[in-house]
Amino acid sequence: MVGRRFQVCHNDTYFDVDYDTDDGFEVFKFQLFSLTSVPPDDQKIVGVDDDRTVSTDSDLASISEKLRLVSIDEEVKEVENQQSCSGNDAELLKSDEELARMLQAEEDALLFQRFVAAEDNSEFEGRVRPYVDQVRLEAARKTVSKEELEEKALVSLAKEGNFKPSKAQEDHAFLLQLLFWFKQSFRWVNEPPCDRCGNNTVSQGMGAALPSELGFGGSRVEIYSFSFNWLLFHIFVCEMGKNADLVVLPSLPCTFCRTITRFPRYNDPLKLVETRRGRCGEWANCFTLYCRAFGYESRLILDFTDHVWTECFSPSLGRWMHLDPCEGVYDRPLLYEQGWKKKLTYVIAIAKDGVCDVTKRYTRKWFEVLSRRNIITESALSSVLTKITKECRRGFTSQVLSVLEDRDEKERQALERDLHSKEDASISLPGRQSGDKEWRKLRSELGSDSLSCSSCPVRVCIDEHVSRIHEAFLPLLSYFVKEELSQSRALEVLGILKGILMDLQKSPFKTRRTSLDSGLSINQSFVHQLLPSLDDLLKALSLTSKVDSDGRIDVCLAGNPVHTSLALPVALDAFDDAIHNIKNCGHLNKDSLSLPLLKSNRIHSGSVLASGEEIPVGIATSAFDGIQMTKWEEPNGARGCWIIYKLSDSQKHKLVAYELMSANDAPERDPMDWVLEGSDDEGSNWHILDKQTSQKFGSRFQRRTYRVASSSLPSNTFRFRFLAVRDVHSTSRLQIDEKEVSAMPFF
């Protein structure tokens, strides 16, 4: 338990430190070492009020809360600075969990020095060996659906227009999908839930590791249990007296459970593959294993200011790439200095073939960082890293050494270039997202809640398949009208067809195949009559139908499977939309075959430019991709923003109608007032085509159709100017799920 809270002054810097009576004075000195880099044996701790030296637990129990830490070699200088220590009123960091985190920081800071002090590389090898052990690599691979990530990687490239990527591009895209998968599958632990009842717990300090925990590197074990104070509760009930029946039980963690929950801080990535939980050390530890399991050159990045992440070498980029699994962020090395506001010191890359200092990649304030690097001189640091790297590469062939040394030199040059490169002021890097908010606040790592861009690139919409899918519903619905299907029967057939597409979507993407009539509760002759009306839809999905000798109709791939993977989510959403509209149209007839049921003449394949966007999931083209679960999000668009769509062939079109769909959440971000403009000279001059005010979406994923006056100006460029969202006082953001623009060519 925390016995005292001290404010410690060292070299004009103030630290707030919790003293845990269970851990004792020696651990307290190591805490100070992790914060100040003054070794425990060189520390002299004195009270600010009476200059009394502190050397035992009893001294700490009887002295005031304000202390001074003096390095024995700098005692004279510390005495001169005594006056500056007495007036600081810094906010205290108070929690048992914070103590555990400081101990983790101590462990990280000592890691590098353990490498330095070792006579051989056994310590380093022990840390690296798990990442190349084939048993561990295979265990990691078995927990991942490789084909699913491959499909997502190829679809992400296809959305950029790259349907035939190189091996390097495909590997790069797969790595990003692995990062996103890991972010969703691994769990951050603030306080672990109770092992018995699953309720909340609170820290009870540190415990001794069990042999089973030590076997997986869990030498440090945090202890948690219930936090309900039964004594206070008993007094509370007694005070209520006769009104005890009015007592309302507060929301209490683990109220009736006295189970002790252990949280071993495992270092072995094999165990972490099993537990899938932890904090930044465990996250980076385990993610690095996954990267190596799929063949990526990977290294662990140790930040001496208490964070750990991963770097992988990307052949596609020709360099090492930053990946933070805790945040799900990649290739944003200034995240910590600019987004988290960290005061970096040493950032060391640890790999199986060596170690190197990569701090310059992560800062644009090198001279400030340099002033804080006081553990070792720069020349000594370089010598130590070179020595360890040579030991790691002992036994390598001359050819391998030549390749590594050439890459090392290129990286050194790149680090120098990075240090002096100009910052991209349009990119807004977020504060820390992982961990409890109060903990992040205490560490001063809060900031914006997203990665965004205020100066977007021109993006090309890869959405021809969306238009083809919408057009393909005309023959299908026309068949329903011709055969005079009742509303209920039409809904039944659409539901069954949607189910068949869902089965296709769940099947392996490279060999998709299903039977068209396997799910239809109708006679075979109807299926064969229906088939011609499905031809356009199947072609839009890069599928084809085949009839066997028994009259069975199979649906299978007709081309590049990525085309089908890209189009299937659009088709499923289109079926949902058609089902919704048929339910609302009453009687299905020829008059029904128009907007909003049918979306003919949808323009596509244009280029898009926006005032801002969320990266990477809220980019501007998401408004035109035909998928409900994506959206365009403008981080600063609540009081005004814009998005421009320019036709690919510059041919003029006369706008007929457009549709907007509300996004999945946050109704306060829905657009309320906007102006739609057209230009016949590619954006030099604009004319108003439509204007809407006080519009409100009644639900999520609600689609609203707006028809445009027949006298609208033929245009080759369209601009939406959103003037205000539904609640400008509660959000700075605007978001929209889909935009569909229907226009007739003008000759």
Catalytic residues, which ones? 280, 307, 324
Q: Return the residue matching tokens 């002299």.
A: 44
Residue reference for tokens 């195949």: 513
Question: Rounded to an integer, what is the distance from CA 183 to the centroid of its chain?
Answer: 6
Residue with tokens 């057939």: 493
Q: Which residues pair with 674 in a beta bridge?
A: 692, 722
- In this structure, the dihedral spanned by the alpha carbons of residues 62, 63, 65 and 66, taken in order and rounded to 10 degrees, is -170
Q: CA 747 to CA 745: how far, in whole Å?
A: 7
Q: How far is CA 294 from CA 131, 133, 149, 170, 240, in A?
A: 11, 13, 12, 13, 63
The encoded tokens of residue 623 equal 């408004």
How is residue 680 written in tokens? 């016949």
Task: Point out which residues pair with 633 in neighbouring strands.
Answer: 735
DSSP helix/strand/coil, 289: helix
Contact 644, 733 (CB under 8 A): no
| Cβ atoms of residues 443 and 575 within 8 Å | no
Q: What is the dihedral of CA 506, 512, 515, 520, to 10 degrees?
A: 40
Terminal-to-terminal C-alpha distance of the chain: 81
Secondary-structure breakdown of the chain: helix, strand, coil percentages, each rounded to the nearest 5: 40, 20, 40
Q: Which two tokens stand for residue 450?
A: 């997203």
- Dig out the tokens for 9 from the structure: 């002054």
Handedness of CA 302, 303, 306, 310 (dihedral sign): negative
Tell me the C-alpha distance between 545 and 534, whole Å.
Answer: 9
Q: What number of CA atoms fall less than 13 Å from residue 286's CA on the CB side?
A: 32
Element (H, E) at 172: helix 167-185
Classify each residue of 312-335 as buried b or exposed e, where b means 16 or more C-beta atoms within 10 Å of its C-beta: bbbebeebbbbbbbbbbbbebbbb
Q: Cα–Cα distance between 280 and 351 in angstroms, integer?
A: 18
Closest CA to 275 of 338, 346, 216: 216
| Inter-residue contact 599 to 740 (CB < 8 Å) | yes
What tokens does 710 get? 């027949």
Return phi, psi of residue 180, to 5°. Answer: -65, -40
Tokens linked to 67: 């202390």
Cα 598 to Cα 578: distance, rounded to the nearest angstrom: 8
Q: In what order do the strands lie in the sheet with 452-453?
A: 427-428, 452-453, 613-614
Beta carbons within 8 Å of 22's beta carbon, 6+ residues apart: 1, 205, 206
Q: Round the CA-based radius of gyration of the chain to a whole number and report it.
A: 32
Rounded CA-CA distance 308/107 in Å is: 12
- DSSP single-letter state for residue 336: I
Burial 704-723 (b: 16+ CB within 10 A, else e): eeeebeeebbbbbbbbbbbb
- What's the CA gap between 132 and 299, in Å, rounded? 11
CA gap 270, 531 in Å, rounded:
52
Q: What is the DSSP letter of 306?
A: T
Please provide residue 66's backbone torsions phi and psi, each rounded to the nearest 5 degrees: -100, 120
Return the bridge partners of 18, or none.
5
